[in-house]
Amino acid sequence: MDEYLMLSVLSAPGESKETFSRRLSTFWTQILRQYPEDFEKVFAETTSFELHGNQLERQYLIEPDVLDLLEKELSTAGIGLKPVDPDEIFSRYEAVSPQWMQIEH
């Protein structure tokens, strides 16, 4: 059975949905181009943003061995993230629509 971690990314405070969405698209395009094998380890993303105070959040299910790379690249891109709990494991069966969308590779 596949095991995934929850990666939660955060917008800049007060950033609009459109701007954050554009920054995420640019980020994931860069990851796909520079690290195609690692991009395949990103299994699913939530279908909508959640609002937490004045920040937007989007969640991803990722394979554990890609966490270090993504944390580094997200930091470089100026995208915030919540701490990841390596002991909190998720299965692919928890990423169901309509809340989740599997990422095609």
pLDDT in tens, 49-81: 999 899 999 999 999 999 999 999 999 999 999
Instruction: Tell me the C-alpha distance between 31 and 14, whole Å.
Output: 25
Residue range(s) defining the domain that contains residue 36: 5-102
pLDDT tens track for 8-37: 999 999 999 999 999 999 999 999 999 999
**What is the domain count for the chain?**
1
- The pTM of this model reads 0.94
Distances (CA, A) of 41 to 56, 59, 101: 23, 14, 14
We report the CATH number of the domain holding residue 23 as 3.30.70.1440
